[in-house]
Amino acid sequence: MKIKYNYIVIDGNIGAGKTTLATRIAEQFNAHLILEHFEDNPFLPKFYNDPEKYSFPLELSFLASRYKQLKEELAPRDLFKSFTVADYYFMKSLVFAASTLKGDEYNLYRQIFFIIYGSLPKPDIYVYLHLDTDRLLQNIEKRGRIYEQSITKEYLTKIQDSYFSFFRQNPENKYLIVDINNIDFVSDRSHYSKIIDTIFSNDYPVGLNKLIL
């Protein structure tokens, strides 16, 4: 299979399977893999226990860590890798901040985000894995991270709405929204092949592209 992309992002809501898919793609195609180091963030467990108090320091810390990682890992070209695949994109910072911050804090955060955003490379294609919130909650419970067990359906809905809002407001990127409610690419190899074919065997125009698998 000929790869037409140099930089691919696999993203989605919490529990959508983005890290699993990005990792498998990197293994199959010998791609450079970028994974977000979210578990090292000291504010994350505190945020889930007290969102009101810790939302702003959490979002600022993620903004800084994501920028540092992407700046470092996207700059050099690895000649021994076919392309780069990441399990998040920098826009994730604004998506989550829009759901957790309010008023002046969000306005300040948004200003800082767009100052930084323009200095980072844009992906050739941005793949968003869409799952209904009930499936997301099942996946979150199954993987058993203690600090995630307090995540609510309402919070996941806010995150989802924030993603779609960003897509509509920033149409200059190539987005592929893949509804995966009817497949299980983690357990079923044929389903995995189906999603790989969807990503790599078609040409998509700039803007929003939606598919149901």
Query: CA nearest 198: which of 6, 187, 206, 183?
Result: 183
**Strand partners of residue 207:** 174
Which residues, in sequence order, are CB contacts of 119 under 8 Å at separation 6+? Answer: 71
What is the secondary structure of 93-150 as a DSSP string? HHHHHHHH--HHHHHHHHHHHHHHHTTSPPPSEEEEEE--HHHHHHHHHHHT-GGGTT
Q: What is the DSSP letter of 30?
A: T
Q: Which of 50, 78, 87, 124 is catalytic?
A: 87
Angle between helices 103-117 and 92-100 (to 10 degrees): 180
Q: What is the DSSP letter of 186?
A: T
Task: Determine whether 104 is an active site residue.
Answer: no
Catalytic residue set: 87
